[in-house]
């Protein structure tokens, strides 16, 4: 038997056995001129394509929110952000505290450097303290100047102008108690007002004929000094004022309490300044009403010496403005 060869111009025909196998469809005839069609049931999807287990959105490896997905990294970044915010808050708090301390320090330095100011009441109190302590600070020669100028009124000379006169200091007595340096009536008044001490000195006029003893009674306040001055007798008669002080071998050697012809008193600040005048020749008290010129001359001498001592001693100092700070 000769073998049969397929026709060169066609394809072998499918066998009947292949067509009869269950579940196996015969392949469609290939039409070179038309498209190739494949049944959907025979298509297979390669691993890794969209929709597969490894690449499908929502799978374990790619689902947002999974343990290894972007959600986990977002949680870690939030923790680092919170820690940085805490550090910034601490730094800002420290900066605020430092600036506050710097401001307080600057205010303290300014208070030390800049001049301070006193209120009016404080100024008056300081000025009163300075005036009240002046009798302790100044020397006896400063309290009682070596020479004193005073004026005799013009009407005493029947003239339109006064006569300038001077008195010189003979000596300065030791500080004495108020009771020992004044007459009993004055001593009682001074004691009631808190008198601390009495300072005295004696002067003689330029002619050498009149003698004046001046005494400074130290009181605690200007009000106390004014009250005593207002209470003392104003008739000019001695016996209610300062006691005379004589100095041996001087023009005032014979001047004592019995030689006092008149007394005078003025007050300035916390000081009561009392003076008595008499004759240098030691004559006892005589009526001055018979000699108006002598009375006026003696009154001018007693008042002039008292005022010359009172004014610088009781004058108020300049108002304090800066208490010695570095900015003064």
Residue at 31 is within a domain: no
Query: Dihedral through CA 251, CA 254, CA 255, CA 257, nearest 10?
Result: 170
Domain presence at residue 298: yes
Residue 183 forms part of a structural domain: yes
- Residue 307 resides in a domain: yes
Q: Tokens for 120, please give them.
A: 């009016």
Rounded CA separation 142/144 (Å): 5
**Is 201 inside a domain boundary?**
yes
The answer to whether residue 287 sits within a structural domain is: yes
Tokens of 75: 């949680």
pLDDT at 67: 40
- Position 251 scores a pLDDT of 96
Quote the number of domains for the chain.
Answer: 1
- Within-domain flag for 129: no
Helix (H, G, I), strand (E, B) or coil at 125: helix
Q: How far is CA 305 from CA 60, 73, 148, 151, 301, in A?
A: 120, 105, 6, 10, 6
Q: Spell out the long-range contacts of 73-82 with Cβ–Cβ below 8 A and sequence spacing 24 or more.
A: none
212 φ/ψ angles, rounded to the nearest 5 degrees = -130, 125
The pLDDT value given to residue 38 = 46
Q: Helices 184-192 and 222-231 sit at what angle, rounded to 10 degrees?
A: 150
Q: Looking at residue 158, what is its pLDDT?
A: 72
pLDDT confidence of residue 30: 45
Kindly tell me the sign of the dihedral angle through the C-alpha atoms of 147, 152, 157, 160: positive
- Please tell me the predicted confidence (pLDDT) of residue 182: 97
Tell me the whole-structure pTM to 2 decimals: 0.64
Per-residue pLDDT in tens (0 to 9) along the chain, 328 residues: 444 444 444 444 444 443 443 444 444 444 444 444 445 444 444 444 444 444 444 444 344 444 444 444 444 455 555 677 778 887 888 888 888 877 777 666 555 555 567 788 888 888 899 999 999 999 999 999 999 999 998 777 777 778 899 999 999 999 999 999 999 999 999 999 999 999 999 999 999 999 999 999 999 999 999 999 999 876 677 888 999 999 999 999 999 999 999 999 999 999 999 999 999 999 998 887 778 888 899 999 999 999 999 999 999 888 887 665 554 5
Give me the domain span that covers residue 244: 138-314
| Dist CA 178 CA 196 (whole Å) | 7
- Please tell me the predicted confidence (pLDDT) of residue 56: 43
Quick one: DSSP state of residue 322?
-
Residue 103 is assigned to a structural domain of this protein:
no
Which residues 6+ apart lie within 8 Å of 170 measured at CB?
201, 202, 203, 204, 211, 247, 250, 251, 252
């Amino acid at each position: 038997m000769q073998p049969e060869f397929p026709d060169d111009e066609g394809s072998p025909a499918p066998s009947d056995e292949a067509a009869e196998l269950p579940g196996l469809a015969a392949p469609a005839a290939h039409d070179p001129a038309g498209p190739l069609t494949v049944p959907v049931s025979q298509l297979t999807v390669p691993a890794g394509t969209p929709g597969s287990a490894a690449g499908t959105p929502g799978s374990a490896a790619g689902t947002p929110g999974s343990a290894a997905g972007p959600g986990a990294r977002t949680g870690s970044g939030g923790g680092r952000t919170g820690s940085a915010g805490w550090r910034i808050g601490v730094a800002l708090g420290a900066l605020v505290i430092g600036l506050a301390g710097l401001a307080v320090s600057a205010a303290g330095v300014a208070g030390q450097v800049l001049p301070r100011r006193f209120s009016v009441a404080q100024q008056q109190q300081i000025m009163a303290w300075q005036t009240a302590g002046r009798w302790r600070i100044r020397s006896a020669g400063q309290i009682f100047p070596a020479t004193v100028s005073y004026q005799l009124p013009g009407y005493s000379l029947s003239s339109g102008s006064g006569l300038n006169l001077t008195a010189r200091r003979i000596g300065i007595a030791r500080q004495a108690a108020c009771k020992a340096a004044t007459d009993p009536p004055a001593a009682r008044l001074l004691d009631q007002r808190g008198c601390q001490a009495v300072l005295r000195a004696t002067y003689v006029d330029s002619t050498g004929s009149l003698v004046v003893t001046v005494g400074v009674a130290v009181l605690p306040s200007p009000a106390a000094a004014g009250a005593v001055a207002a209470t003392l007798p104003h008739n000019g008669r001695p016996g209610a004022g300062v006691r005379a002080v004589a100095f041996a071998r001087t023009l005032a050697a014979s001047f004592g309490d019995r030689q006092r012809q008149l007394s005078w008193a003025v007050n300035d600040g916390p000081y009561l300044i009392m003076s008595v005048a008499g004759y240098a020749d030691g004559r006892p008290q005589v009526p001055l009403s018979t000699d108006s010129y002598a009375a006026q001359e003696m009154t001018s001498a007693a008042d002039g010496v008292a005022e010359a001592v009172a004014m610088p001693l009781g004058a108020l100092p300049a108002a304090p403005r800066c208490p010695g700070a570095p900015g003064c």
